[in-house]
Structure 1
Amino acid sequence: MREVKVVCRELDFGDAVAVSEGPLIEEGRRGVAIKSRRGHGSTITESGFREGGPGYCDGRNYHYVICSDLQAQSVSPPAEFSVRLVNGTTSCSGTVEIFYRGEWLGLCTSWWSMMKEVKFVCRELDCGNPVAESGGPLVEDGKRRVILDRCYGNEYSIRHCDFIREPGVCIGRNYHQVTCSESVRLVDGAGLCSGRVEVKSNQSWASVCEADFDRQDAEVVCGELGCGAPAALQGGLYGEGEGQTWDKEFQCKGKESLFLDCDTSDRENNICLPGNAVGLTCSEPDDVRLVGGGSRCAGGVERYDQGEWRTVGAEDRDQTRTNVAAVVCRQLGCGSNVSALPGNTTRGNSIICYGSEPSLRDCYRMYDILPGLTVICSDLLVQPDISLTDSMGGVSRGHQGPEVFRDYSFTITCSTQPQYPGGSFLLTFTGSNRTQAQPAVNHSAAFLFPAADDSHQGNYRCVYENYVFSHNFSSESGLLTLTITASPLPAFIIRHVVVLLILLTAITTSYLYYKPTRRQKRVNRVSSMDRYVNAMEMVSLSSRAEAGPGEERAAQGTE
């Protein structure tokens, strides 16, 4: 009691009332050993410590102290099954421990859900939403731990969950580390990423008025809670709450890591009318993917966990695989589950879902290593494109979409991104059973209409169909709304004009080509005649020279 009196005095908690000894910390852990003290010093440090610094001692030498001044600080033992987080970076993160029969014990469980057990831990500690959880050998194997069976989600606190009352021994992989948000949370929503925005101020939670909150503020909140981008923002979306209303206006830039890091300013109007407590829906986190299936909606399931992509495993039961696959397809926005089969070689941590959870992190997580899971979702094929072209200038852009002149030809082309070979396209016409089908060639197909008439007016859609993974899949394009209008001139006149223009162009081209050629031929003929005349004159002169003067005169007389 002498040392205990010094502790109470140093803490200004009055005199020592009681002290107990027990295995409050595991045996074999290092502790600080002090020398004996008569209780006259003012601080425990004046007692002096044994030489050699911290050493090892058995658990019975650790002490639990009760001082007399209960007004200064309550020192009554925590309630049975109270929760705390130790060895974390903040007061809302760390390894989970449960107070049981006078001592703090680690929590051991095979079932662990962010939406249930982790949410209870965060709530009991007056923290915000669950952000992350992990399991591993955080403490030594072979030590006694409180064993939790499971929580069902409707309990008031974690102490009302199913515990195995006698502490037991479990392997280290089942101990859990939790991270909760500290200063912001979403409440009364359907999952971890939706609810009414509440901010912690002066140890109490306050709702936020819609007028003081914008999309940039929402981006910071969603990011701090480990969710995706904001999807919906509306006052009164998740009720009003029962506490106070935050009296500042947030001015986030959208890049802050914590919501309370954002700038604030005084609110212009201190009144937040009923129905204006802001509700926020964030998209689910981008922490799940399907790989190796040729599409973002097919392949082996992987989840981003503790800084890396890890394989997700599932029990070899049809319903278990189907439930997990339903959640995966929903989170990825890939429609519904079509097929869920065991993976070929890879193995991963087991996930158990009910099938209605909004994301995979809301499911139960187990640390058994089971075969991986291959999932095929209904929206396997990407959405095809639809376009309109013509070869005669008969298509124009109207107020309600493309317009085609009556009696003109036009072509509707369906195309899709390269995913799988083969397939076919259907061109459907809204309001009738008229369809056309063509095989996909180079992932496209063209549908020609030789002459537009009023029956062609309406809405068109391309449907791409393909048989892959032993199932038929289809994907529809958006609507193409087509209007048929009268042309400025009758089509047959324009056709004749076009033909005449083509003929005129051909004639002009031929004329311009052959005219220089004929001129060159005439020049060539004149040049040849001149050369012939010159040659004959030369021959004549040569003959006269050889005949002599007498013959030349005779020739002249003859002439």
Structure 2
Amino acid sequence: MIRAASRQRHIYLDMDHLLLLLLLLWSSGVQAEGKHNSTESDDVRLVEGPSLCAGTLEVKHLGEWRPVNVIDWTLKEAAVVCEHLDCGSAVAFGLKPQMSASLWKIKLDCVWSGSTLRECATPDNSYTALILTCLDSVRLLNGSSLCSGRLEVKSNQSWSSVCEADFDQQDAEVVCRELGCGPPSVLQGALYGEVEALAWSKEFQCGGHESALLDCRSSGSARNSCSPGKAVGLTCSEPDDVRLVGRASRCAGEVQVKQLGMWRYVINTAHNLEEVTALCERLDCGFAVGMTMSRSGLVSDDWEIKRDCAQAGSPLRECLSFSVITFSQKGLFRELKCSDSVRLLNGSSLCSGRLEVKSNQSWSSVCETDFDQQDAEVVCRQLGCGPPSVLQGALYGEVEAPVWSKEFQCGGHESALLDCRSSGSARNSCSPGKAVGLTCSDPVRLVGGASRCSGTLEVNYLRQWSPVDVSDWSLKGAASVCAHLDCGSAVSVRRTKATGFYPLTVRSDCVKSGSALRTCTTFMSSSSMIKLNCTDSVRLLNGSSLCSGRLEVKSNQSWSSVCEADFDQQDAEAVCRELGCGPPSVLQGALYGEVEAPVWSKEYQCGGHESALLDCRSSGSARNSCSPGKAVGLTCSEPVRLVGQASRCAGMLEVKVGKWRTIDYFDWDLKEAHVVCEHLGCGSAFSIQWKNEPSEISVLKIEPDCVHSGSALRECAKSSSSFLTLNVTCKDLLVQPIISVSFMNGVSMAQQQGLQVSRGSNFTISCSIQPQYPGGSFQLTFTSSNTAYNYTQPAVNHSAHFLFPAAEPTHQGNYSCIYHVYVFYHDLSSESPLLSVTVSDPTHSDVVKGVVIPLVVLLVIVLMILGLHLYRQVNKQ
């Protein structure tokens, strides 16, 4: 807002500044009447300082001036205040003790939202206020940092640009020094936009030693404007404002940052080795080797370097902020260690890249012919990495630096490459693709388990193996470690209490980004550590989850695919059990890509009860290859269940990660529960409830976002603890009732389509259900084209019978049984399939059966009686 007002003022002045000033004076009374009660600059001030542009920041809000306390501010936010006050660039800021706890608090996100400082002010009870130093006479506009831009000078409350013809290198040195920047690196017009302000009318004649530009001598100049592209554009180098102190080498020690000529200790300098490397590179010290904590005993100013700011490439002085630390952290600083003589460039991690060696303050590449495996072992050890895994030129770009002129002759035991013997070499260049490209392994291991693929997770940090804690890690993250160790699939991961030591902490978001575990390790103590279990002999590749993929088996340190002809359902059960998954659901080749590995040469003969595939008996097989599409592709079901109730569709949710564990109620609703019910074949979710445990227990926490991403529940689960566990009830909790029909003659018929009943006959419709819960009732529903009825009876022995003594046309329609029962604090119901009943009049055959046949029988009886009577008469004669 102030900049826009300033630009508008300069445009007017450029037209005819003298006339305008007269007009402004003449109309000042009129303007005062229409002026708003308060402007931004009226509501912000610096007090108790040597000038209007330095002192304690105060803001007027709700009619009251109060000092300001800030959170996470840097020089960038301070520069906004300087601009509001029509001062120059921000040079320094800090906090000072405040007698009164009545302050305004201003957060940086509000500052950048475009709101005024007054609008950002909220009450705060604090005893520290912001002090700010702005320049009152020079500023750089439109630059990429606070040390670059178009130069403007202030005099008589107005800002003017400076013409190149009136400004030289010595003048630039003074300006850069005044701004707190390094020496000038570029002095060129039009770098930062065309001039809009008035042109300074004097020529500066600095000696180069002055502390401020206006302290320099100057001579009058006739110019009041600059030719296009001739206004001074100045780029000062970033100041030499960071150093490592307290150790013998300039590339190791505690971090200090320079502000206003004063070196300040910094806490929370960097959070992992990747960020330390950025500082090492800035100091021309190669790569990061390690980071520890030290306690110097000196009083800390509680400064920190903000991670997101430094990662964005901003100068360190612009990323310096006050840190919120605990009392126990007072005087506790980050101590960094850089490799001062070797570095790897352009690699995918801190343990890979093109090798360069430093000597006489310059870096040189190394030729493959002057470097061997033992030399590589020394470099990997010096960088704190694991043993070398790849040594090959041209992996990480062509050589551009000078070439090292000696051949290294390491024994492999040295701690640094320059400790090795070397012999002179005539070479001063490398053939294309022959500069050393080196990949060291990530120093990670599992210890204390039954095999090298299970145990406590440790990282080699500062040449010492230390346990690590990953607070927000699931099986997906653990799987990357298993793969790195050439183990199989991740089966379980859990956090346990650390005993007797304080593990390092690994940032899970860093691991998920693909960075090496060591790179993501930060020196922050934790009371927990990670226990990880990987399979050491089987794995599934290219699947949609850890429980699906193409099967491979490991033997003699190599992985082999398995042919379908040598593998059956019982073998699959053993594999799924070994992986910690549910029973096999699909066993089919070519589901997860064609086979590329060697083929397993034995036929498995599992009984299905084995805990590992290699525990099964096997017989030799002549096969050494598989037909296309015949390598075993296996899908195991996800191990999810509901327990604690009579139905498999209701109860406490459990997921198997190593063992069956309950789930934290945290942030779940019916949308997440629906995924569980659908997976179990129980329809949709009916309700969720939480159960309050008597004490905090170990649980798995599953975040909703992970559930909706399509990941398996098992892969979303993270170790946690809670007082609340999750219970889920699905709509298909009840089994489906059975509907059947019986007739007077005792014939019973199960439900069928198009059942026909004779008019006038009696029939009974029976409803029944498999025993699940006691009690309940059955509702028999009847619908036809023009009517609907409901009949209800209590369930006796899980059934009910509805008698229809004489079938009528009105009984023709569709019948269904609905079972109602009250369980789990809910009214639940389940409906049978429809039974269609048709009522018909007696047919001709029915008449024959009901009338003619009885008459025939009667006639036969009469004839028999007559015959018997005639027989007696004959005998009497």
Q: TM-score, normalised by structure 2?
A: 0.41
For these two proteins, the number of residue pairs brought into alignment is: 420
CA distance in 2, matches of 1:341, 1:394: 47
CA distance in 2, matches of 1:411, 1:185: 59
Query: What's the CA shift for 1:169?
Result: 0.4
Match status 1:166 vs 2:525: no
Match status 1:351 vs 2:701: yes
Query: What's the CA shift for 1:191?
Result: 2.3
State the partner residue of 1:242: 596
State the partner residue of 1:148: 507
1:335 aligned to which of 683, 686, 698: 683
1:229 aligned to which of 547, 565, 583: 583
What do residues 385-409 of structure 1 show as CA deviations (whole Å, max 9, x unaligned)? 33343331555799x9997675554
State the partner residue of 1:526: none
State the partner residue of 1:378: 731
CA distance in 2, matches of 1:447, 1:369: 51
State the partner residue of 2:266: none
Match status 1:490 vs 2:846: yes
Q: Which amino acid aligns with 2:701?
A: I
Query: What's the CA shift for 1:85?
Result: 0.5
Alignment of 1:384-395 (within 5 A): 384-394=737-747
State the partner residue of 2:483: 123
Gaps of 5+ in 1: 1-21, 24-67, 502-559
State the partner residue of 2:779: 425
Q: Which amino acid aligns with 1:369?
A: S
* Contact 1:117 1:151 (8 Å CA) reproduced: no
State the partner residue of 1:65: none
* Contact 2:767 2:778 (8 Å CA) reproduced: no
Q: Which amino acid aligns with 1:111?
A: D
Q: Which amino acid aligns with 2:474?
A: S
Secondary structure, in 3 states, of the residue corresponding to 2:487?
coil
* Contact 1:93 1:177 (8 Å CA) reproduced: yes
CA distance in 2, matches of 1:363, 1:350: 9
CA distance in 1, matches of 2:786, 2:551: 49
Q: Which amino acid aligns with 1:344?
A: N
Query: What's the CA shift for 1:108?
Result: 0.9
Secondary structure, in 3 states, of the residue corresponding to 1:120?
helix
Query: What's the CA shift for 1:489?
Result: 6.2
Query: What's the CA shift for 1:197?
Result: 1.6
1:297 aligned to which of 626, 649, 671: 649
Query: What's the CA shift for 1:275?
Result: 1.9
What do residues 169-195 of structure 1 show as CA deviations (whole Å, max 9, x unaligned)? 0112xx111111111122222322222
Match status 1:205 vs 2:564: no
Deviates more, 1:249-258 or 1:264-273: 264-273
What do residues 342-399 of structure 1 show as CA deviations (whole Å, max 9, x unaligned)? 323444335123324675432232323342233222222233233343331555799x
2:764 aligned to which of 411, 431, 448: 411
* Contact 2:445 2:457 (8 Å CA) reproduced: yes
Cα 1:402–1:127 change in 2 (3 A) is: farther
CA distance in 2, matches of 1:481, 1:119: 56
* Contact 2:454 2:531 (8 Å CA) reproduced: yes
1:313 aligned to which of 664, 669, 678: 664
Q: TM-score, normalised by structure 1?
A: 0.62
CA distance in 2, matches of 1:496, 1:394: 25
Query: What's the CA shift for 1:438?
Result: 2.6
Q: Which amino acid aligns with 2:539?
A: R
Cα 1:209–1:458 change in 2 (3 A) is: farther
Alignment of 1:30-69 (within 5 A): none
What do residues 128-168 of structure 1 show as CA deviations (whole Å, max 9, x unaligned)? 11222332125434x24133234686x5565499x3x5311
2:608 aligned to which of 244, 254, 259: 254
Cα 1:263–1:82 change in 2 (3 A) is: same
CA distance in 1, matches of 2:620, 2:690: 57
CA distance in 2, matches of 1:85, 1:188: 25
State the partner residue of 1:475: 830
Secondary structure, in 3 states, of the residue corresponding to 1:260?
helix
CA distance in 1, matches of 2:847, 2:511: 74
Cα 1:405–1:266 change in 2 (3 A) is: farther
Q: Which amino acid aligns with 1:384?
A: P
Query: What's the CA shift for 1:452?
Result: 7.3
State the partner residue of 2:572: 218
Cα 1:304–1:212 change in 2 (3 A) is: closer
1:282 aligned to which of 611, 615, 636: 636
1:136 aligned to which of 496, 518, 529: 496
Secondary structure, in 3 states, of the residue corresponding to 2:497?
coil
Cα 1:395–1:296 change in 2 (3 A) is: closer
State the partner residue of 2:112: none
CA distance in 2, matches of 1:328, 1:223: 21
CA distance in 2, matches of 1:431, 1:219: 53
State the partner residue of 2:819: 464
CA distance in 1, matches of 2:443, 2:609: 37
Query: What's the CA shift for 1:278?
Result: 2.0
* Contact 1:82 1:98 (8 Å CA) reproduced: yes
State the partner residue of 1:524: none
State the partner residue of 1:525: none
CA distance in 1, matches of 2:701, 2:470: 14
* Contact 1:107 1:148 (8 Å CA) reproduced: no
Cα 1:144–1:470 change in 2 (3 A) is: closer
What do residues 99-121 of structure 1 show as CA deviations (whole Å, max 9, x unaligned)? 3343322121221211x111112
Match status 1:194 vs 2:542: no
Secondary structure, in 3 states, of the residue corresponding to 2:663?
strand
Gaps of 5+ in 2: 1-288, 291-370, 387-439, 858-877
CA distance in 1, matches of 2:787, 2:565: 51
